Structure 1
Amino acid sequence: MRNPEFPLSAVAAAVLLACAAAAQAQNPTPPAADETVLQTVTVNASADASQGGLPPPAAGGQVARGSRLGMLGNVSTMDAPFSATAYTQQLIQDQQARSVADVLLNDPTVRVARGFGNYQELYVIRGFPVQSDDMAYNGLYGILPRQYVATELLERVEVLRGANTFLNGAAPGNGGIGGSINLVPKRAPREPLSQVTAGIESGGQRYLATDLARRFGEDQATGIRINAARRDGGTAIDDEERKLNLLSVGVDHRGRNFRLSADVGYQEHKLDQSRPSVDLSPGIRVPRAPDASSNYGQPWIYSDERDVFGTVRGEVDISADITAWAAAGMRRGKEENSLHTPRVLNDAGDTGGFRFDNARRDTVRTGEAGVRAKLRTGDVGHTLAVSASAFDLKERNAFAFGGDIRSNLYDPVDVPPPDVPATGDLSDPRVTRKTRLSSIAVSDTLSFAQDSVLLTLGARHQKLKETGYAAGTGAETGRYDKSAVTPVAGLVYKPMSGLSLYANYAEALTRAPTPAFDSANPNDVFSPSRSKQKEIGAKYDNGSFGAGVALFDVRQPQGVEDAANVFSVSGEQRNRGLELTVYGRAMPGLRLLGGLTLLDAEQKDTGAAGNDGNDVIGAPKYQANLGAEWDIPGVQGLTLTGRVLRTGSQYADAANTQKLPAWTRLDAGVRYLTTVGKQMLTLRASVENLTDRDYWASAGGYPGAGYLVLGNPRTFVISASLDF
């Protein structure tokens, strides 16, 4: 790797902190203390209408022992030829995580960025962006709100690393290259659940939520779980206001040879005077990060998102060895916003830019169906699967932009919102895009040598169809209609109990980049782009502590223009790296979670000789996380928590002239579990960005764009949960 800039001091400091905490445990908490915590969150009912239900939590309860691998269903971590981590609801609650982004702060292979020009959460895995549009909900794309997903909806957050078109189908937002994220809905556990949580955080943000669940009928076969939440008030950022309203209902039923589940939900998320991303003019240096609590956003900026969604899933056992499943879902989304992204003009921090208003309406329909069967041919076992999927998005858009807004990053100036002309009707937008994806896939997982060797082979035939329309006139502006087959091969070898060695070859399929309107061939349509991945790795789990290591190489085609302005898909982005993950009980009373990623993301054959060999925008050479939880000896129910995040330097431009410095963030907290009468009470307090560090957290996330996002300031979060 080129100049890896390995953060020895930061990682060593984190390890020393954790070890110091462990060394102070003269009378360590017995293992039973961890088990007591696990019992309070174990969900024994199926969360996805599957025969086996959710994979159980691993030691420590923060991650699970398996996760969904698309059409392969729930697969044990040690049996999977891929790298994946599933974060549990216990971790979500204990860390007071508000959104998916907060959960993924625990993942050393993921960094959180933001959508292009808006406030959409975006996740960078192995140096490739995964938009929240491309997250799956119980295996279905496009069901949950596309900009922000509240954690009250979720039982687990599952991260699958690497190309995954075979497993999940092509992602509607053109992602799925560096990884994917699947969100698992909540289900009623066996024991009745009645919980209320109230909290407050810096800036006066107030929080109230309730989580209710019951099971009914013979053998408690039918369950219902209701979640409601409200957040309202200021944040640690000056003058910023956030509001969240959420309601969801999940039901499930387990019959003798069938299982059903369904979800319906509503989420409203509104931001007022939220701090925007920052663009950079070419040729200037990356400006000094402003005070983390400052707000250079205009007072008229807002973003309002409302979504209604629902899914249904069923599974039936045709025989002891054959199971069929089907699922369908729908979402209607409404977004309205008025935005401004400051563009830094000089080293003094002066900014320009324009106002951009947008009205968007989404209608998503999606579904899948399939069959899995188990059989044997001699000494070889087979798990066969056939799956078909379909996705349909109708997007309506209108927008308005213009004006000249002048301010300064360090001394902001409030500018009245300029009047800007609209394209389309902001109160009733026209259809501007239709996306239709369909596919069929087959696979066979062969098992040899008493299941110590597992070989997965498969392929998916994918159709990608998209039609664009002008927002003002409704006239068709372009059409894409192509198909391709993506194969997969994965091998797992388990030489001994608790150890798995694996390798895979997988591909991601995305719509090809299109020529610009002023290129020499603006109407050319290219075949889908295949991103090709090779990966080898190892996993270890002794029942108390687990770890994984992976080496990967991913190559993604890129569009370039030659000297004659002829566009072709002949460039390449090549990302190579090493990932290390750890989890579980390092010793009684001490739980660790984290790891390290080393990344070499390189531009190749770019068409600009000066950029060949340069780093990719927004891809740090290293990132490391380490979180620790320590149960204080002698004080039943008291736990101290801490986490360190370290991210290496990264570039905001393809020429590698605009460089963001590396940054480190420290978090700390305390949790106390007690009883009030016969009721369980959990008190939690945490401090995010303990040292109040001012830093640019990310660069880019949209192809070719290097916009910056400022890290959040020191934030105090306090909450209390009462089970009654």
Structure 2
Amino acid sequence: MASIQSPHHRKRGALHPLALAAATLCALASGAGHAQEEPARITISGRASAAQAVGVSGFGDVPLWRLPISATVIRTDQLADAAITGLGDLTRLDAGATDAYNAPGYWNQLAVRGFTLDNRFNYRRDGLPINAETVIGLDNKQALELLKGASGLQAGTSAPGGLLNLTVKRPKVAQRSAMLGWQQDGTLGAAIDIGDRAGAQGELGWRINASASRLDPSTHNAQGHRWLWAAAGDLRLSGGTLIEAELELSRQSQPSTPGFSLLGDRLPSADSIDPRLNLNRQPWSLPVVMDGRIGSVRISQPLSADVQLVAHGMRQRLDSDDRIAFPFGCSAAEDYSRYCADGSFDLYDFRSENERRTSDAFDLSLQGRAATGSLQHQFNLGLLFTRYATRLGRQAYNWVGVGSIYQDEALDPDPSLTDDSTNRRERTVELHLQDSLTLSDTLTAWAGLRHSRLHRESRYTHPDDPRPTAYAQSLSTPWLGLSRQLGTGSSAYLSWGQGMESEVVPNRARYANAGQALPALKSRQLEAGYKSSSRSLDWRVAAFDIRRPVWSDLLAATGVPVDGCSSSAPCRRAADGAARHQGLEAEAEWRSGPWALRGSAMALHARREGSADSQANGKQPTNVPALSLKAQAAWQVPALPALALLGFITHEGRRQVLPKEQIATPGWTRIDLGARYSQRLGAGTSLVWRAGVDNLANRRAWKEAPFQYGHAYLYPLAPRTFHASAHLNF
């Protein structure tokens, strides 16, 4: 988004037992002719194996069941079973993650434990920070690691919900695969993944991923295209030195889809709205274009049998053209928080072209094991240097007339560059230390500290009124944990940690403290949990309590919170209570014979407290469901072992639409079905067919209700959608 004033915002009941039964059914794939059948491997989308390590945790190769944190690891082959091609659809697989402004055709936003992840600070790629203000391709990703809760130890400044880390595919022996896919209405995609190792000892490895898609979704006026090309290589030298390098280029061009809204004081029925309708449908509507280039080099050098030095650097450049015919507010009623009661809205021609975002990161760390007396340590000590810059230009944000959700009316465009943006620069140095201390055979203490020294500055693009700001801060985010192993594969834990966010008051005349740096927002989390892992059953439960301070605009004269202020009635941005999110998460996976079942649930009590505005206290935040349930099932057909039938259930409770008024969208349940059929075509060659249908019952509902920049939005569930793919390994 070009600036906070930019109008283009980003986005896309209880379960009944019969719904769970229905989820185990699916449409059968066609027969395989005379090819040999290969037993289907049963996988569950979203499963985090308890034996897996979670690299983003920073504690090395410790298995997940031992770590005093909550996390989920999702492999991209599991995403294929669920026909997931973008980060926004991860909300189908884990109850802790929900939608937070997922507009089709734009970059994705996620909320974890009710807090929206910051696309600038809450995303990682092989552990290094990246900017996620772009479409992120998954074709060259091996797994997605979702860390839940306060992430100050892993990220320094970040929103308190968690972190999403993308791990890149690396070279392996004789990797050759190709994929063709189709999705209703006419989306077609192809991808290839090839690689191998060479040399007498396999010391040189390479891997190439490439994909291209024609985008033609069920949403009207949303055709586009997308491609990705990526290469990864490594070199193993004498002395254990490992050099890894990778490069990724990507592009997506597609018109985005704005949200619906309240109609006056009324929540429109989702049954009355066509979910395929795109309000960005003017003859002059242009696609959002996002180009990405990113590359990294990592060198690992063993210093002894137990310690290694790792140097890891990355550079990312994003270029984008952000354009939309944007519906916003109702000037006829002088209410810009919603559309007019008759379905009309003000329409703006928004264009912010030639946006550029660059990110650089370099981490130098010492990792390994050591002993002090009878105590065993597993540690990670390092320095992280990051640099971030946003370069924008003047933008168009011009009123062009009145549109309607009920009928098309062609309006004249106005691409005049009449609005300004804000350019930003940031430099950060972070010292991080993590240590797990084995106190006994069953008791482990965990500790960590990240100290961040940051310098941020901004400058308005108006040549005569730059309104510059600049400030520096030093922030420390400690973390502590204690875990006890209670048996083979089970542990109980308690952890406490902090998170940090930093901001400056906008340098505008309407603020009495304009341009001043605010004290860092220091969030705190307390979590207690239990994990158990066995051959047939993995399960965990965690209770958490997160408190995050809130800054509000308060009238300078009275200290009363206001929704807006002006130079004649200036306000101060200051501390105003906190957001308190308390919840219980549970996850279980059971495997027996031909069956594999997985379910996750989150009950969340999220409220505002301590605000000077009594109407805000005790209110459920907007767009945050109090209950979220996700379930997946796989059944390998005994009579046809090559065939696996798949089912997915997503249920979310109601969401508040406005911060203070009691208007809420009803809860909803969606059922998706699929099938996977595996064939062995010859020695070393196999073919995997997948087919499925999303939103089987063609359910109409408001999927999410984000409230951003003073405006309420509504996004519908996508209609029933069929998809199919073929994956060849050769």
TM-score, reference length from structure 2: 0.87
Question: Within 2, Cα distance between the matches of 1:268 and 1:63?
Answer: 36
Q: For 1:277-305, what per-residue CA distance to the aligned partner results, in whole angstroms no more than 9, with x for missing partners?
A: 24558x62332231222222224142000
Aligned position for 2:720? 714
1:252 to 211, 221, 234: 234
Q: Distance in 2 between matches of 1:412 and 1:544?
A: 56
Q: Paired residue for 1:291?
A: 274
Inter-CA distance 690–118: structure 2 relative to 1 (3 Å threshold) = closer
The 1:250–1:384 alpha-carbon spacing in structure 2 relative to 1, beyond 3 Å, is same
In the alignment, which of 165, 186, 191 is matched to residue 182 of structure 1? 165
- Find the aligned partners of 2:542 and 2:385 in 1 and give their Cα distance: 32
Q: Following TM superposition, by how much is the alpha carbon of 1:351 offset from its aligned partner in structure 2, in angstroms?
A: 1.9
Question: Which residue, 290, 293, 298 being the options, matches 1:308?
Answer: 293
Q: What is the CA deviation profile of residues 414-459 of structure 1, one whole-angstrom value per residue up to 9, with x for unaligned ones?
A: 43423433446xxxxx981102222102232110222x21111121
Matches within 5 A, 1:387-402: 387-398=382-393, 399-402=395-398
Moved over 6 A (4+): 33-36, 57-64, 115-118
Task: Tell me, yes or no, if structure 1 residue 352 matches structure 2 residue 333.
Answer: no
Residues of 2 paired with 1:539 and 1:566: CA distance? 46
Which of 102, 106, 126 is residue 138 of structure 1 equivalent to? 126
Identical aligned residues as a percent: 23
Q: Map 1:310-389 onto structure 2 (within 5 A).
A: 310-343=295-328, 344-359=338-353, 360-389=355-384
**In the superposition, relative to structure 1, how do residues 146 and 512 fare at CA in structure 2: closer, same or farther (>3 Å)?**
closer
Measure, in 2, the Cα distance between the counterparts of 1:91 and 1:64. 17
Q: 1:477 to 1:342 in 2, by over 3 A?
A: same
Query: Helix, strand or coil: the match of 1:218?
Result: coil
1:150 aligns with 137
**Structure 1 residues 59 and 162: CA distance shift in structure 2, 3 A:** closer
- 1:62, 1:91 within 8 Å by CA — same for their partners in 2? no
8 Å contact from structure 1 (residues 236, 714) kept in 2: no
Distance 2:546 2:294 in 1: 34
Aligned partners of 2:703, 2:432: CA distance in 1, in Å? 39
Please say if 1:407 is aligned against 2:403.
yes
Paired with 1:335 and 1:691, the residues of 2 have a C-alpha distance of 37
Can you list the C-alpha shifts for 1:305-347, whole angstroms capped at 9, x where unaligned?
A: 0011101112111011221111110011110021233234233
**In 1: Cα distance, 2:182 partner to 2:46 partner:** 31
Shift of 1:184: 0.4
> Following the alignment from structure 1 to structure 2, what is the Cα–Cα distance between the partners of residues 367 and 377?
30
> Counterpart of 1:148 in structure 2: which amino acid?
V
The change in CA–CA distance for 1:211 and 1:62 in structure 2 (over 3 A counts) is farther
Asked whether 1:628 is paired with 2:639, we answer no
**Conserved? CA contact 1:627–1:643, under 8 Å:** yes
Q: Which segment is superposed worse, 514-523 or 93-102?
A: 514-523
| In structure 1, C-alpha distance between the alignment counterparts of 2:538 and 2:317, rounded to whole Å | 41
Structure 2 equivalent of residue 91 of structure 1: 78
Give the match for residue 600 of structure 2: 595
Q: How does 1:251-650 map to 2 (within 5 A)?
A: 251-255=233-237, 256-272=239-255, 274-280=256-262, 284-289=265-270, 290-299=273-282, 300-343=285-328, 344-359=338-353, 360-398=355-393, 399-423=395-419, 432-450=423-441, 452-473=442-463, 475-512=466-503, 514=505, 517-560=509-552, 561=554, 563-564=558-559, 565-585=571-591, 587-650=592-655
The alpha-carbon distance between structure 1 residues 517 and 499, as it changes in their structure 2 partners (threshold 3 A), is farther
Amino acid at match of 2:518: F
Q: Is the 8 A contact 2:113 2:581 kept in 1?
A: yes
Shift of 1:476: 4.8
Q: Say whether the 8 Å CA contact 1:514–1:524 is kept in structure 2.
A: yes
Question: CA contact under 8 A between 1:132 and 1:148: conserved in structure 2?
Answer: no
Q: SS at the partner of 1:219?
A: coil
Q: CA deviation at 1:369?
A: 1.2
Contact 1:669 1:687 in 2 (8 A): yes
Q: Deviations over 1:372-431 (max 9, x none)?
A: 24222333211232111121111111211111342222434343423433446xxxxx98
Q: Alpha-carbon deviation of 1:230? A: 0.4
1:122–1:129 Cα contact (<8 Å) kept: yes
1:128 maps to which residue? 115
CA change 1:536–1:375 in 2 (3 A) is same
User: Structure 1 residues 240, 661: closer, same or farther in 2, change over 3 A?
Assistant: same
Distance 1:392 1:60, change over 3 A: closer
Question: Judging changes above 3 Å, is the alpha-carbon distance between structure 1 residues 490 and 341 closer, same or farther for their aligned structure 2 residues?
Answer: farther
Q: Secondary structure at the match of 2:311?
A: strand
Question: Which residue identity is paired with 1:484?
Answer: L
Which amino acid letter does the alignment assign opposite residue 421 of structure 1?
A: L
Q: Counterpart of 2:318 in 1: which secondary structure?
A: strand
Equivalents in 1 of 2:680, 2:39: separation in Å?
18
Partner of 2:568: none
Counterpart of 2:495 in 1: which secondary structure? strand
Moved more, 522-531 or 613-622: 522-531
Q: When the two structures are aligned, how many residues end up with a matched partner?
A: 674
Residue 293 of structure 1 aligns to which amino acid in structure 2? R
Distance 1:139 1:381 in 2: 25
Alpha-carbon distance, 1:15 to partner? 4.1
Deviation of 1:702 after TM superposition, in Å, equals: 5.0
Give how far 1:482 is off: 1.1
Counterpart in 1 of 2:30?
Answer: none
Cα offset, 1:125, TM superposition: 0.1
Q: What are the ranges of 5 or more consecutive residues in structure 2 without an aligned counterpart? A: 1-12, 27-36, 329-337, 560-570
Alignment correspondent of 1:690: 696
Distance 1:249 1:233, change over 3 A: same
Deviation string, structure 1 residues 96-154 (Cα, Å, up to 9, x no partner): 321122344211110123269982200100000114433111011116x6321121021
- Tell me: CA distance 1:703–1:183, structure 2 relative to 1, closer, same or farther (3 Å): farther
- 8 Å CA contact 2:311–2:362 kept in 1: the answer is yes
Moved more, 549-558 or 290-299: 290-299
Distance (whole Å) between structure 2 residues aligned to residue 64 and residue 454 of structure 1: 17
**Contact 2:25–2:673 (CA<8 Å) still a contact in 1?**
no
Cα distance change, pair 36–684 in 1 and its aligned pair in 2 (3 A): closer
Aligned to 1:72: 59
Tell me, what secondary structure is at the counterpart of 2:88? Answer: helix
CA contact (8 A) 1:113 1:701 kept: no
What displacement does 1:591 show?
A: 1.5
TM-score (norm: length of structure 1)? 0.88
After superposition, what is the alpha-carbon deviation per residue over 1:30-57, rounded to whole angstroms, capped at 9, x for unaligned?
xxx999738xx9xxxxxxxxxxxxxxx9
Which is further off, 704-713 or 358-367? 704-713
Distance 1:63 1:148 in 2: 30
Q: Give the partner amino acid of 1:467.
A: E
Instruction: Report the residue type matching 2:190 in the other structure.
Output: L
State the secondary structure of the residue aligned to 2:400. Answer: coil
RMSD over aligned Cα atoms: 2.7
Q: 1:117 to 1:225 in 2, by over 3 A?
A: closer
Counterpart amino acid of 2:653?
G
Deviations 1:503-559 (A, max 9, x none): 111111111463674233334322211110000011111023211111001111111
Q: Aligned partners of 1:15 and 1:690: how far apart in 2?
A: 13
Where does structure 1 lack aligned partners over 5 or more consecutive residues?
1-6, 23-32, 42-56, 425-429
Aligned-partner SS, 2:691: strand
Q: The residue matched to 2:220 in structure 1 has which SS?
A: coil
